[in-house]
Amino acid sequence: MSALDILLVILRIAFGAFVPLSFVAVLVWMERRGAGYFQDRSGPNRCNVLGFRAGGLIQNIADAVKLIFKEDIVPGHIKHKLYFILAPTLVFITAILSFAMVPFADTLVLNGKEYIMQAIPADLGILWFLAVVGFGVYGIILAGWSSHNKYGVLGGLRAAAQVISYEIPMGLALVSLLTIYSTVNLSEMARFQGQLLFGFIPMWGVFLQPLGVIIFIVAAFAETNRTPFDLAEGESEIVAGFHVEYSSMKFALFFMGEYVAMFVSSALIVTLYFGSYQIPWFSTETLVNHSKPVVFLLMLAMPVAAYFFNIWMKKNNRSQYERPNDPRVFEAQVYAAVIWSIVIFIEIIFLGFLIFSSGAGGARILVALLQIACFLFKTFLMCFVYIWVRWTLPRFRYDQLQRLGWQRLLPLALLNIFITSAVVVSLA
Amino acid sequence: MVSTILFSAFAVLAVAGAAGLVLLRHPMNGAMSFIMTLIALAGLFALLSAKLIFAIQLIVYAGAIMSLILFIIMFLNIGEKDLPDESNRWFYFGGGAVVIAPLAIFLLKVVNKLPSCEATIVGDSFGSVKGVGMVLFTEWLLPFEIVSILLLVALVGAVVLAGKREGKL
């Protein structure tokens, strides 16, 4: 193994482990500010470090400090302490592991060697996700059972029944998708979606499987126990469900596990149905062959975007009443300086690329970075859909939830399989 | 070298889990040790580069079936006091060991007599989803379809039985 091999192994595993973790902070922030936006209020925006609030992101640090320094209680009535402690770790570990086979850029070719851009470069793809997510249920069951508490058991029962029954429509929606892609490997699926349908529509899963995408997204919402399917927590009925007896970092592990699961299922929805890392109409080869014009366009676009963002920020980041030496205006000025220095730094790198780049290696790394950015942007938007739904729809009743799963989604998914297979066979 | 260590680790875990399933009294402990066995078996399949079987072992056995069993244990909330009296079970364990011992010795001898051969990594398509699918749907199509019909019958039967009870209520 050369040094490059080892470096890329470390980079890919670091991406697979730390990007979901960083997204926890982003998602918690987005959840709160999003809730504020949908309810016509500001959301948390007062926490600051030396007057810098980072748009409310500092609130996360306050939360983390609170959760870490809380007393870590294992209630006295708990008999099976091993399972009580195992449960939150299981939920968290399975959530992170399930991201391991999602590709975040096209296969990187450096010095004639291919590097599959997944944390674990195996070809199990979607089967790995299904296997690992199945273990997440154990965490919830064990938490509910070992809590030895009526609310805990009820929450655990609800969560387990819900996840098990929604795995079926999810799996069936996947079957019709696999018929089209004719592979389970997520990297190959992503490459398939780089083609064009009728020469002008990107061949994304969402255009080939309009019914399947709806079934899959609904099932994914239920799998992650998010509103409108968050009966397992159901604050108004069973307090907090399966994590009612947990405190401090054990609770934080459940909390982070939920957000990581949300990130992973958004990433999976993007990978399966929204073109994965593919930038629409620009295949990897096109981008690599035209890397210099692409870089030139980016060099033009970045200052323009930064300029408009700064205008927007200066307009909004000020006190709403008269204040002498408004500290928020100063804050916005500092942010503007930071943004401009980042822009200048990237411009210098791009300029260096334009002048010194020769051969395909640099261009391929650049395209991989662009695709990672595209993948993360799409995932970010899909996460926003989760938050959008959470603050728009009320919670289902339990019988409504099971009826939706078994009587609506299951027949629809079967119908989808029949239609898809008929079309695939007639076209073949 | 690494694969030998992994094989020993998985084998020890599998046997320990199976022993735990029989020896531990609480049903939850038994179920959890059985899950350990199933995961260790999946690891052994992975060592044999049977990727599809590895995934299926994790999804179907370790994932779906065992989570249903755990669900039932939680649903019925079985505790130590609900279990039948098994004070003489060590006597049964001892008797079982005596009965099985000759068979075990025979098996050990047979395994030791096997000619040793170097383990080699077979082609890339072996055990992968595509490889197994090709073999299954060309050479073994009829057995596959018969087994599918068996599973379908079981599924229809389950739906009919569940539907009947609902009608009476």
Full DSSP string of A230-262: -TTT-HHHHTTGGGTT--HHHHHHHHHHHHHHH
What number does CATH give the domain B2-125?
Answer: 1.20.120.1200
pLDDT for A177-186, tens place per residue?
A: 888 888 888 8
Residue of A93, A129, A130 to mutate, testing the B interface (most B Cβ within 10 Å of its Cβ): A130
Size of interface A-B (CB pairs under 8 A): 70
Please indicate whether, in this complex, the C-beta atoms of A124 and B51 are within 8 angstroms of each other.
Answer: yes
At A308 the pLDDT is 92
At B150 the pLDDT is 94
At A325 the pLDDT is 78
At B17 the pLDDT is 92
Full DSSP string of chain B: -HHHHHHHHHHHHHHHHHHHHHH--SHHHHHHHHHHHHHHHHHHHHHTT-HHHHHHIIIIIIIIIHHHHHHHHHHHT--GGGSPP-TTHHHHHHHHHHHHHHHHHHHHHHHHHSPP-------TTTTSHHHHHHHHHHTSHHHHHHHHHHHHHHHHHHHHHHHHHHHH-
Segment B14-32 shows an average pLDDT of 87
At A331 the pLDDT is 84
- Find tokens 């609030």 and name the residue: A53
Please indicate whether, in this complex, the C-beta atoms of B74 and A135 are within 8 angstroms of each other.
Answer: no
A388-427 per-residue burial string, b: 16 or more CB within 10 A, e: under 16: ebbeeeebbeeeebeebbeeebbebbeebbeebeeeeeee
Does residue B108 have a pLDDT over 50? yes
Q: Which residues of chain A have pLDDT under 50?
A: none
Of residues B163 and B46, the one with the higher pLDDT is B46
3-class secondary-structure state, position A387: helix
CA of A294 vs chain B CAs: smallest distance (Å): 38
Please indicate whether, in this complex, the C-beta atoms of B28 and A156 are within 8 angstroms of each other.
Answer: no
At B15 the pLDDT is 92
The domain limits of chain B are: 2-125, 139-169
Residue of A nearest to B131 (CA): A183
The domain limits of chain A are: 3-281+358-427, 298-355
CA of A32 vs chain B CAs: smallest distance (Å): 34
Residue of A86, A97, A126, A127 to mutate, testing the B interface (most B Cβ within 10 Å of its Cβ): A127
Does residue B169 have a pLDDT over 50? no
Report yes or no: A291 and A346 within 8 Å, Cβ to Cβ: no
Give B28's contacts in chain A (Cβ within 8 Å): 80, 83, 145
Residue of A91, A114, A137, A142 to mutate, testing the B interface (most B Cβ within 10 Å of its Cβ): A137
